[in-house]
Amino acid sequence: MEDELIKQIWGDVLAILKESVLATTFETWIVPLVPHSFEDNCFCALTGQNLAVQILQKNQKDISKALSKVCGKDVYFKVIYDEDLHKQLEKEKQKAKKEEEKEFIQNLEKRISSSKYDGLKQMQSACNLNLKYKFDNFVVGSSNKFAYAVAVAVAKDPGKQYNPLFIYGNSGLGKTHLLQAIGHDILFHKPKLKVKYVKAEEFINDLVSSLAKGMDKTGDKNKKMNEFRNKYRNVDVLLVDDIQLIEGKSRTEEEMFNTFESLHNSGRQIVFTSDRSPDKFENTPERLKTRFQMGLLADIQVPDLETRMAILTKLANDNNVKIPPNVIEFLASVFNKNVRELEGAFNTISAYTSINEIPVTLDIVKKIIKYNDKKKTVTVDGIIDITAGFYNVSADDIKSSNRAAKTAYARQIAIYLAKEFTNESFPFIGDCFNRKHTTIMYSHQKVKKDIEHDMHLARDIQELTDKINS
């Protein structure tokens, strides 16, 4: 079959898959595929990502179904890893990275040339941003898709919508990354705007220091406080990390309230991050809590297994570390609480294997992280028991044919968690629930998609995750 026709078929298939496959899988693993051949009712695509072959096994039926629909006959889909394509993608990635860095520096230099700063380091220091936290290296999944989308929207048009933006979630899930990415993106596209990133702890210490100094040699008691206020109010974008730390500190809360009023009333952008939503701030004045809530709230949940695998894959690619697919999946299964511990494990493993000049293997990795194969692991039955207790139904009912709404709902949640927190296959999990593996696959995908727009469900998953990990 001619190449143009093959590309046209694949384009139609992508349009179908975009609506039916999880966004993380579609963008990370399916979009980069290159249509290669179509012979004997077998459509073959190439990938430059070694892990894609393993990942897409779960989606093979969906892709084959889409191909069959487009072609009007039964079509089998096959994906093959291609080393030449891998090398090509790596070259393109490095080229794009260099071009972006060049453009980024040029934009910053424009602002530097018209400001009091003498160089790039002074500019970065003034904004207080870390160059590694940018949108292009933030891995998007169902757990953070909404927060990522609104962060991008804020960076594109600061002060116009979602003001303030309040991003919350447990530690180590990427809140700081998104917060600083907003700052970088604004500097990149709007270099004339003044951006200020500050940790709440730094804001508190700065205030305490200004109050303690009190009076300078001129006798002006207000000078230090005026300097403090100007520092945070003469900006176009204020990014405050870990705002929950000011709770119960009345003077700090008062200064933050007045800073908020000054910036917001003049149409300047404010973004906060916190380890919990504003309604959980028990010792914060109501007037400040309502300010936190008057814009948009966006939460970040624990990333699912596929997102964790995507994060590790990106880390490996960015650092030129070769990690086999089975090690990627193993690490993503073991380190399932947050992104920070996942990155920590990767850094430890890459450093150890590099220093000792040895390849990354499953046995070596288990030795490095001191993993005990005999250690009690999370089981499907254990997850069923935890979920049953959480929703006040019996474990036997979850495994039975009981179709009561409450039981059916708990069953779907348990199925989703069983797949996310164990290495078991869909057929095995199906046996545990006394159901066909196709039913298990459907329930898993349904919950995965529902989490993206159902905040109540997302919170339930987070609480159940904490119970499973405890």
The 10s digit of each residue's pLDDT in 158-206 is 998 899 999 998 888 899 999 999 998 888 788 788 899 999 999 999 8
Shortest CA distance to 309 belongs to which of 78, 86, 12, 52? Answer: 52
**CATH class belonging to 305-368:** mainly alpha
Integer Cα distance of 30 and 47 in angstroms: 9
Integer Cα distance of 11 and 2 in angstroms: 14
Average pLDDT, the chain: 85
Integer Cα distance of 419 and 143 in angstroms: 16
What residues have CB less than 8 Å from 377, skipping those under 6 apart? 422
CATH dotted code for 128-299: 3.40.50.300
What residues have CB less than 8 Å from 402, skipping those under 6 apart? 408
Give 27-76 pLDDT, tens digit per residue. Answer: 888 999 999 999 888 999 999 887 788 778 878 888 999 999 999 899 99
Average pLDDT over every residue of 384-399: 92
Provide the residue count of the chain. 470
pLDDT of residue 407: 93
pLDDT of residue 417: 93
Shortest CA distance to 418 belongs to which of 470, 465, 376, 355? Answer: 465
Residue 44: φ, ψ to 5°: -115, 135
CA distances from 314 to 90, 299, 319, 340, 343 (A): 12, 23, 8, 14, 11
Strand order in the sheet with 269-274: 195-199, 237-241, 269-274, 165-168, 296-299
Give 235-249 pLDDT, tens digit per residue. Answer: 999 999 999 999 989
Which of 120-134, 219-233, 325-339 has the least mean pLDDT?
120-134
Residue 220: φ, ψ to 5°: -85, 105
pLDDT of residue 220: 62
Integer Cα distance of 407 and 247 in angstroms: 40
Integer Cα distance of 270 and 187 in angstroms: 15
pLDDT band per the 50, 70, 90 thresholds, residue 104: low
H or E element that contains 262: helix 250-265
Whether 221 shows a pLDDT value over 70: the answer reads: no
pLDDT of residue 456: 86
pLDDT of residue 117: 47
pLDDT of residue 126: 60
Integer Cα distance of 157 and 146 in angstroms: 17
3-state secondary structure of 1: coil
Shortest CA distance to 13 belongs to which of 23, 33, 3? Answer: 33
CA distances from 190 to 113, 153, 161, 266, 346 (A): 14, 14, 16, 18, 35
pLDDT of residue 412: 94
Token reading at 55: 């990942």
Strands 165-168 and 269-274: what pairing?
parallel
Average pLDDT over every residue of 320-330: 88
Going by CATH, does the domain composed of 3-81 fall within 3.30.300.180? yes
pLDDT of residue 175: 93
Integer Cα distance of 86 and 36 in angstroms: 15
Which of 255-259, 262-266, 428-432 has the least mean pLDDT?
428-432
Instruction: Give the residue, 271 or 111, on which the prediction is more confident.
Output: 271
CATH dotted code for 380-469: 1.10.1750.10
| Domain edges within the chain | 3-81, 128-299, 305-368, 380-469
Integer Cα distance of 74 and 345 in angstroms: 44
Integer Cα distance of 462 and 3 in angstroms: 47
In percent, how much of the chain has pLDDT > 70?
A: 91
Whether 411 shows a pLDDT value over 90: the answer reads: yes
Give 281-301 pLDDT, tens digit per residue. Answer: 888 999 999 999 998 999 888
Rounded to the nearest 5 degrees, what angle is found at the Cα of 325, between the Cα atoms of 324 and 326?
95
Whether 441 shows a pLDDT value over 70: the answer reads: yes
Residue 241: φ, ψ to 5°: -95, 140
Rounded to the nearest 5 degrees, what angle is found at the Cα of 275, between the Cα atoms of 273 and 281?
95
pLDDT of residue 449: 85
Token reading at 374: 């005999």
pLDDT of residue 373: 65
pLDDT of residue 55: 78
Whether 6 shows a pLDDT value over 50: the answer reads: yes
Whether 118 shows a pLDDT value over 50: the answer reads: no
CA-derived radius of gyration, the chain: 25
Helices (H), 114-144: 120-127
Which of 63-72, 92-101, 212-221, 438-447 has the least mean pLDDT?
212-221
pLDDT of residue 119: 45
Whether 121 shows a pLDDT value over 50: the answer reads: no
